[in-house]
Amino acid sequence: MCPFMQFIEGGRRYQCGFCNCVNDVPPFYFQHLDHIGRRLDHYEKPELSLGSYEYVATLDYCRKSKPPNPPAFIFMIDVSYSNIKNGLVKLICEELKTMLEKIPKEEQEETSAIRVGFITYNKVLHFFNVKSNLAQPQMMVVTDVGEVFVPLLDGFLVNYQESQSVIHNLLDQIPDMFADSNENETVFAPVIQAGMEALKAADCPGKLFIFHSSLPTAEAPGKLKNRDDKKLVNTDKEKILFQPQTNVYDSLAKDCVAHGCSVTLFLFPSQYVDVASLGLVPQLTGGTLYKYNNFQMHLDRQQFLNDLRNDIEKKIGFDAIMRVRTSTGFRATDFFGGILMNNTTDIEMAAIDCDKAVTVEFKHDDKLSEDSGALIQCAVLYTTISGQRRLRIHNLGLNCSSQLADLYKSCETDALINFFAKSAFKAVLHQPLKVIREILVNQTAHMLACYRKNCASPSAASQLILPDSMKVLPVYMNCLLKNCVLLSRPEISTDERAYQRQLVMTMGVADSQLFFYPQLLPIHTLDVKSTMLPAAVRCSESRLSEEGIFLLANGLHMFLWLGVSSPPELIQGIFNVPSFAHINTDMTLLPEVVNPYSQQLRMVMGIIQQKRPYSMKLTIVKQREQPEMVFRQFLVEDKGLYGGSSYVDFLCCVHKEICQLLN
Amino acid sequence: MATYLEFIQQNEERDGVRFSWNVWPSSRLEATRMVVPLACLLTPLKERPDLPPVQYEPVLCSRPTCKAVLNPLCQVDYRAKLWACNFCFQRNQVCELFLKNVEFVFTRRGAQSPLIFLYVVDTCLEEDDLQALKESLQMSLSLLPPDALVGLITFGRMVQVHELSCEGISKSYVFRGTKDLTAKQIQDMLGLTKPAMPMQQARPAQPQEHPFASSRFLQPVHKIDMNLTDLLGELQRDPWPVTQGKRPLRSTGVALSIAVGLLEGTFPNTGARIMLFTGGPPTQGPGMVVGDELKIPIRSWHDIEKDNARFMKKATKHYEMLANRTAANGHCIDIYACALDQTGLLEMKCCANLTGGYMVMGDSFNTSLFKQTFQRIFTKDFNGDFRMAFGATLDVKTSRELKIAGAIGPCVSLNVKGPCVSENELGVGGTSQWKICGLDPTSTLGIYFEVVNQHNTPIPQGGRGAIQFVTHYQHSSTQRRIRVTTIARNWADVQSQLRHIEAAFDQEAAAVLMARLGVFRAESEEGPDVLRWLDRQLIRLCQKFGQYNKEDPTSFRLSDSFSLYPQFMFHLRRSPFLQVFNNSPDESSYYRHHFARQDLTQSLIMIQPILYSYSFHGPPEPVLLDSSSILADRILLMDTFFQIVIYLGETIAQWRKAGYQDMPEYENFKHLLQAPLDDAQEILQARFPMPRYINTEHGGSQARFLLSKVNPSQTHNNLYAWGQVRNLQVFGEDAKLTE
């Protein structure tokens, strides 16, 4: 039932807007119609008047026709030597104590229904019994990593509030317990397996938080080799680097989804860890992948903790199935995101949180009528954090037009680039990068050529004409083409490329826009009296000035670029040091100086960070110093250092293509 | 022949040996005609307070195939400083140290390793059962020697190996109860493989010097007894839900396998006890005996006969594999099974039987039967040492007229072939050495010999045959010791000296030795075949040694030294060792287990229960195990080894009901009631395992324990023939006449 249903025959029957089928109104639902054919209760029932609404699902929509149990969070900490040594284990254990206070709960509830569990591992797994009546937690070691099982049922997943003292006791002890460990090897697939089995045994959906550091080389399923090979770059075999090494993770991901187990992975690599393999399960289960290269406590601590806190607290639904329905004439053909599809219509997600987006591609399979327009309904069945099964419905009605000009007018470039990026990144697994880049350029040219041919007023052939709504398409497209996933650069590791590829796959439109075209803000023009952000400038070196201070953010990184002759009062205000030379570029957090500049800048950074799924690490870059090279990579309109054309070059190239097409 | 009886008893006192024949027939042919084989019951570690340990190495015969120990039967030429081995006649140099006559116990110095006790505990128990077991285990910690190593494995659906060394948080390694693991896998998974272990027997490892990985699981009692007490106290019932109509999932097979693997990898060839406490049958994984569906009952003898016990063969194979590995490592496995229903002792029996471990069966851990039996394992002898020894090898040497046919007892063959090993096997044969991984002062083996001297090479008058038993073992004080028992008996020619041989027949030993052979056969053959075989042997014996006139049954006589033998055989036929009717397969296995390891006195009680009568007519006296002994004015005390039954006759029961015992004028009645109770207490105190104690009276339901044992001379068929007691010897004769 949705607003698109047309009630007829005095309200006794209705016609479905999607398939045009005429149905009887069940007696309990009957309502008289008013003079314009609307039901009298039109505004009382959300499903008749609103685009989006949510049902509490009946038992028919539950697994095994049983109401689901509330979900669980399982924290799985890699306690191998490197994680112990760099203090990460201690940090995680320490911070979890406060973060667990904030696990999401329903607004009306006193405490969260989500239960928590703990596992540590290196090449074996340690389960912990943290039952509330125990004086001490108990540790159970499972060494049979070839065939992982859950050694305990009762006491593994507990209510945090009830077992708080035991859990704190455990978190206090974990760092000491493994302090003398010199175990370097880790396993990975068995860890996920263990978490999944635990959820399966408890018959509830849930989320695994895995804190992992190294390539899993210990003898176990999912064991990985270091197969990073720079020689493959720019060859037809480059795609192999983006594919998982074994199919263990693929089948594991399917199992996870089948049991509503979402995996969020925090990676702390110091060398190659094969993100393409490790990241597969998080991607397919609707989890998030975080990566902190060469984790250093004083530099990366804050970013990691923000991410962790954010990830624990964020709104999330579990064990979701989504279906997209359309009216006749077109249909959904392809889906991109943190999803798994076992058939062509059901989109399965072990979990979906507020930062995950699914991109859907529609294709015509018939003519659309201009009268009725195109209707889209997206229904998501999921389990809430308190264990309620719900059905969320989104409805969208779109106009149809036979005029191409109208079409071009209504196009949204940000959405387009999101779609192109996801489809290109998906294709990376199967096609050589060169081919993909050519296709992207080609498609851009086609779109623009089509406009020129059918909509634009006649003009000189040498003139490049862009539709108003698409004027930024070429620059975005160029950014996409220059992205390290599609264009290899020597200083970017294979892991980093696989990581970025994966990130983009689940991004929403706003995130992908920012990711491909970073925001560059001139800080020196900041109006300390206004709460408005300064107008962003184009990402080009030509926009920078020696007297300026610029803030650049792309959703993952944040840079504060300082021109050599930045105004001293700004430097004093922001850094509380007398001059440019005194600024310490090691910091990742601006000092809290009581000064309008500092406050304003920090507020701006806060706004940029807000609602971004990933915490951005701040890097201070001084003009003409070594780190500036990294910063320059993000000035996406300029020519890249290692290839990747500038915006102007790309425009010329596209123009040439268009001319060719038109001739 | 009082003199022979004394001789036999003296020998038993001194050597712990009882021979079926104490004068040996000198030819092979004649020996086989004697029906009862030349054999002996040997109690290798018989308690001898007067036996001082000698602090030097024994002197061995230098012939590599012989290596007999110098003993008083050897001829020593003091002038030439030579001694002649009495087994192979090799001449040897006399070592300077050894000038006196022989002693029996030698100690060998060297690095000592502590005793090891590994508890394997089932947690699928009822709450109060588990509580009782936990208390018993906690109590046992105080009984162990302080430097003994202890370990704990618990099991239910999963198997947990508890780490004992850690402080604070308790750690355990968990294994799936359904997956069979190899020893190597177990050691890998427990992280035991990294440090290299010295494997030699002579130099067992010292945990203080090398912090082994194994020390996580096996710790000295004095170090962790507080921790372990707490750990045991916190043990919970298996937390996995058991749905209605199901048995709990119990992974006994994997738990034992892990226990064996753990010790195998860490302390091979060091005295160690694996103590399995279980409250039900294994229901999953390797070694499962029954499925978890309650509606399908555990196998019965009926199922086994119909070949309907689907898990039995596989499970038995699993436990046999474990038992053999354990024996090879010199460890032993005890089984303490307490449950109302069967627990799979039939399948698991080899674990105790082959390794010399104990088998205890009870209804619940919350009974004095279990508690006291368990406590009794840790009793000490007059020296303050535990009555247990480990990793023994028994080496038997014979003079050349004899060969070794085999042994029956809690041992495994070491497969040592030699010139004195016979090709004809009786019991576990084909070897001259056996391994007994766990033994106590009463552990007794039946050892069978074959006379090989040919008829045409007579032994000179006064010739003596000799047998030497050399037992290497680890004393409970952790010393390695060797006990040497050398015995000699006269040879006699059957033709001319039959009466000598007859008089030297030890019918008690013979009965037990024959019974062991019968029970050994019963393990592999059908019951009726064994009974037929026993009957035939008895008939042949009576034929050979009985005196009778043809066609005249009343004329049949047996000499004194044979007179009781048929009676023993009669009761043996009816005993639970051969009759499986009315016993579950587990019970049969349990009874047979004890029969194969107890000494002669206890074995005889098992074959023919003792019945004492208490009445006003005189002092307590033994009476015939016959229904005619059940009289209204008597109190009976029956000892079947496994049960102590006190039975009040009809009148006595009525008197007691009337409360006469509380009246001062009937104090003598009170004393009469008390007397059997005191005697029963005495038996209960001494016996291992503690018998089931049954106090019943005429018409009581428990009276069946008595009624099932007595000779049914009076049944409803011949009830009117009151007092016509059929002689048991007549029964034997009947059999003979039907030949």
Cis before B410 (ω within 30): no
Give the whole-number percent of chain A exceeding pLDDT 90. 36
Q: Does B232 touch chain A (CB under 8 A)?
A: no
Per-residue pLDDT reduced to its tens digit, A422-465: 999 999 988 888 899 999 999 999 888 888 888 877 777 777 88
> Can you give the pLDDT at residue A590?
87
Range of lowest pLDDT (A3-7, A365-369, B164-168, B325-329): B164-168
Indicate whether B150 belongs to any domain: yes
pLDDT at residue B197 above 80?
Answer: no
User: Would you call B169 and A173 a contact, using CB atoms and an 8 Å cutoff?
Assistant: yes
> A207: which strand partners?
A73, A262
At the top level of CATH, the class of A51-69+316-400 is mainly beta
Q: Is B568 helix (H, G, I), strand (E, B) or coil?
A: helix
> Can you give the pLDDT at residue A290?
94
Greater pLDDT, A75 or A53 = A75
Taking residues A503-509, report their average pLDDT: 91
Indicate the CATH number for domain A518-633. Answer: 3.40.20.10
DSSP state letters, B289-324: -S-SBTTSPPP-HHHHHTT--TTHHHHHHHHHHHHH
Range of lowest pLDDT (A236-240, A394-398, B435-439, B516-520): A236-240
CA-only gyration radius of chain B, Å? 27
Taking residues B143-169, report their average pLDDT: 87
User: Based on the domain organization, do B126 and B157 belong to the same domain?
Assistant: yes
Q: Does B176 touch chain A (CB under 8 A)?
A: yes
User: Based on the domain organization, do B315 and B264 belong to the same domain?
Assistant: yes
CATH of the domain at B309: 3.40.50.410
- For residue B67, what are the CA distances in angstroms to B56, B405, B415, B436? 17, 20, 17, 20
Cβ pair B680, B692 in contact under 8 A: no
> Can you give the pLDDT at residue B104?
45
Q: Residue A151: which of B158, B179, B190 has the nearest Cβ?
A: B158
Q: Does B167 touch chain A (CB under 8 A)?
A: no
pLDDT at residue B200 above 50?
Answer: no
User: Based on the domain organization, do B620 and B561 belong to the same domain?
Assistant: no
Q: Residue A136: which of B168, B179, B240 has the nearest Cβ?
A: B168
Indicate whether B68 belongs to any domain: no
pLDDT at residue B205 above 80?
Answer: no
User: Based on the domain organization, do B224 and B352 belong to the same domain?
Assistant: yes
Final residue before a domain boundary, out of B476, B496, B516: B496
Indicate the CATH number for domain A407-511+645-662. Answer: 1.20.120.730
Mean pLDDT of chain A: 88
> Can you give the pLDDT at residue B537?
92
> Can you give the pLDDT at residue B211?
45
Per-residue pLDDT reduced to its tens digit, B502-538: 888 999 999 999 999 999 999 888 878 899 999 999 9
Instruction: Among B169, B243, B249, B262, pick the best mutation site for testing chain A contact (most A Cβ within 10 A).
Output: B169
User: Based on the domain organization, do B486 and B520 belong to the same domain?
Assistant: no
Per-residue pLDDT reduced to its tens digit, A29-57: 888 887 877 787 877 777 777 888 888 88
Per-residue pLDDT reduced to its tens digit, A515-548: 999 999 998 887 777 777 888 888 888 888 888 8
Number of domains in chain B: 4
User: Based on the domain organization, do B618 and B710 belong to the same domain?
Assistant: yes
User: Would you call B169 and A136 a contact, using CB atoms and an 8 Å cutoff?
Assistant: yes
> Can you give the pLDDT at residue A267?
94
Q: Does B62 touch chain A (CB under 8 A)?
A: no
Domain ranges for chain A: 1-50, 51-69+316-400, 72-314, 407-511+645-662, 518-633
Final residue before a domain boundary, out of B608, B639, B668: B608
Question: Which CATH number is correct for A1-50, 3.40.1360.10, 3.30.200.20, 2.30.30.380, 3.40.50.150?
Answer: 2.30.30.380
Instruction: Among B152, B154, B162, B174, pick the best mutation site for testing chain A contact (most A Cβ within 10 A).
Output: B174
CA pair distance B92, A621, nearest whole angstrom: 96
> Can you give the pLDDT at residue B553?
78
Of these ranges, A335-344, A395-404, A621-630, B440-449, the one predicted with the greatest mean pLDDT is: B440-449
What pLDDT band is residue B610 in, cutting at 50, 70 and 90? very high
Q: Is B86 helix (H, G, I), strand (E, B) or coil?
A: coil
Greater pLDDT, A523 or B50 = A523
pLDDT at residue A367 above 90?
Answer: no
Per-residue pLDDT reduced to its tens digit, A204-227: 999 999 999 999 998 889 899 988
- Element at B530 (helix H, strand E): helix B527-545
> Can you give the pLDDT at residue A1?
66
CA pair distance A638, A632, nearest whole angstrom: 8
User: Would you call A144 and B176 a contact, using CB atoms and an 8 Å cutoff?
Assistant: yes
Instruction: Among B123, B157, B161, B173, pick the best mutation site for testing chain A contact (most A Cβ within 10 A).
Output: B173
Range of lowest pLDDT (A402-411, B195-204, B592-601): B195-204
Cβ pair B238, B159 in contact under 8 A: no
Residue A22 identity: V
Indicate whether B204 belongs to any domain: no
Taking residues A106-121, report their average pLDDT: 89
pLDDT at residue B209 above 50?
Answer: no
> Can you give the pLDDT at residue B194?
54
**pTM as predicted:** 0.85
CA pair distance A383, A381, nearest whole angstrom: 7
Indicate whether B200 belongs to any domain: no
User: Based on the domain organization, do B460 and B337 belong to the same domain?
Assistant: no
Q: Does A141 touch chain B (CB under 8 A)?
A: yes
Phi and psi at residue A95, in whole multiples of 5°? -75, -30
Q: E strands of B8-157, at which residues?
A: 17-19, 23-25, 39-42, 53-54, 75-77, 82-84, 91-93, 105-108, 116-122, 149-155
Per-residue pLDDT reduced to its tens digit, B470-493: 888 888 888 888 888 888 888 988
> Can you give the pLDDT at residue A646?
87
Phi-psi region of B327 (alpha: psi -120 to 50; beta: other; left: phi over 0): alpha
DSSP state letters, B144-177: S-TT-EEEEEEESSEEEEEE-S-SSSEEEEEEET
Instruction: Among A132, A139, A148, A150, pick the best mutation site for testing chain B contact (most B Cβ within 10 A).
Output: A139
User: Would you call A138 and B179 a contact, using CB atoms and an 8 Å cutoff?
Assistant: no
> Can you give the pLDDT at residue B96?
43
> B466: which strand partners?
B488
Q: Does A43 touch chain B (CB under 8 A)?
A: no
User: Based on the domain organization, do B342 and B471 belong to the same domain?
Assistant: no
> A33: which strand partners?
A39
Indicate whether B73 belongs to any domain: no
Greater pLDDT, B549 or B510 = B510
Taking residues A87-102, report their average pLDDT: 92
Indicate whether B684 belongs to any domain: yes
Q: Report the gap between the CA of A124 and the closest CA in chain B (Å).
A: 9
> Can you give the pLDDT at residue A58?
82
Q: Does B239 touch chain A (CB under 8 A)?
A: yes
CATH of the domain at B562: 1.20.120.730
What pLDDT band is residue B196 in, cutting at 50, 70 and 90? very low
Per-residue pLDDT reduced to its tens digit, B572-588: 988 999 988 888 999 99
Indicate whether B56 belongs to any domain: no
At the top level of CATH, the class of A72-314 is alpha beta
Long-range Cβ contact pairs of B461-465 (< 8 A, separation 24 or more): B462/B490, B463/B26, B463/B490, B463/B491, B464/B73, B464/B488, B464/B489, B464/B490, B464/B491, B465/B24, B465/B398, B465/B399, B465/B401, B465/B402, B465/B489, B465/B490, B465/B491
Residues of B whose CB is below 8 A from A136: 168-170
User: Based on the domain organization, do B166 and B271 belong to the same domain?
Assistant: yes
User: Would you call A140 and B172 a contact, using CB atoms and an 8 Å cutoff?
Assistant: yes
Which residues, including other chains, have CB under 8 Å from residue B322's CB and lie 6 or more apart?
Answer: B256, B257, B260, B333, B351
> Can you give the pLDDT at residue B193?
65
* Relative orientation angle of helices A473-482 and A509-516, to the nearest 10 degrees: 70
Residues of A whose CB is below 8 A from B180: none
Final residue before a domain boundary, out of B559, B586, B608: B608
User: Would you call B190 and A151 a contact, using CB atoms and an 8 Å cutoff?
Assistant: no
CATH of the domain at B458: 2.60.40.1670
Structural domain boundaries, residue B723: 609-738
CA pair distance A425, B633, nearest whole angstrom: 102
User: Based on the domain organization, do B345 and B444 belong to the same domain?
Assistant: no
CA pair distance B345, B279, nearest whole angstrom: 11
Residue A397 tokens read as: 């009605």
Taking residues A100-116, report their average pLDDT: 86
Indicate whether B55 belongs to any domain: no
Greater pLDDT, A16 or B343 = B343
Residues of A whose CB is below 8 A from B239: 152-155
Give the whole-number percent of chain B exceeding pLDDT 90. 46
Phi and psi at residue A267, in whole multiples of 5°? -105, 135
Q: Is A637 helix (H, G, I), strand (E, B) or coil?
A: coil
Phi and psi at residue A32, in whole multiples of 5°? -70, 160
Nearest to A121 by CA among A202, A200, A218: A218
Residues of A whose CB is below 8 A from B174: 127, 140-142, 151-152
- Element at B273 (helix H, strand E): strand B272-278
Cβ pair A305, A328 in contact under 8 A: no
Q: Other CB atoms closer than 10 Å to residue A533's CB: what's the count?
A: 15
Residues of B whose CB is below 8 A from A139: 169-172
Range of lowest pLDDT (A13-27, A420-434, B692-706): A13-27
Q: Report the gap between the CA of A580 and the closest CA in chain B (Å).
A: 53
Q: Does A180 touch chain B (CB under 8 A)?
A: no
Q: Is A504 helix (H, G, I), strand (E, B) or coil?
A: helix
Q: What is the DSSP letter of B285?
A: S
Greater pLDDT, A525 or A87 = A87
User: Based on the domain organization, do B243 and B140 belong to the same domain?
Assistant: yes
Residue B171 tokens read as: 């750690």
Residue A616 identity: M
What is the length of chain B? 739
User: Based on the domain organization, do B693 and B599 belong to the same domain?
Assistant: no
